[in-house]
Amino acid sequence: MSERASQSDLDAIAIQLGREPRDVHGIAYRCPCGNPAVVETQPRLGDGTPFPTFYYATCPNLTAEISTLENSDLMSDMNQRLERDAELSGAYHAAHDDYIAARSALGVDVPEIADISAGGMPDRVKCLHSLIAHSLAAGPGVNPLGDEARDRLPEWWQNGDCISRRKDQRS
């Protein structure tokens, strides 16, 4: 369950992203340092655009580490395992269903994205950022491949406070 984003959260997210955040519904996960790390985004943006990426990683320390994972062979390995492992495939499909159910719980009808989740779910892995964001927001045991990728991350919050560092870079 997400928490409502305060103005200080929105200000922090703007610093993390280097732009104003769009249509944040809530904070789905906080870094151990306390800053927002994953937000829930409205499924239809204020300008009317459908937006299927419900869980969005904002912490630059986190996203940098995920990008490093994406440059490895991990996604290729995961896709191969999805093709051969029926149990993993079923659990990954359940994660897709969970993602859609959480987004649908907002009560915003967006038929253009009704069966679309993120990260390649339910059939393939194409974005670890989305899968890890889902894993962090939903908690362990919901998205098996998101959990696996999350467990390979170093302790990104140990890289220093991303908000302070970004503020210093702007000065």
pTM of structure: 0.94
What does the CA dihedral 170, 34, 125, 65 come to, rounded to 10 degrees? Answer: 50
pLDDT band at 53 (very low <50, low <70, confident <90, very high): very high
Which residue segment(s) compose the domain that 155 sits in? 7-170
Residue 164: per-residue pLDDT? 77
The pLDDT value recorded for residue 162 is 83
Mean pLDDT of 125-143: 98
The answer to whether position 1 is within a domain reads no
Q: Answer yes or no: is 40 within a domain.
A: yes
Show the tokens assigned to 64. Answer: 């940098």
Whether 130 maps to a domain, the answer reads yes
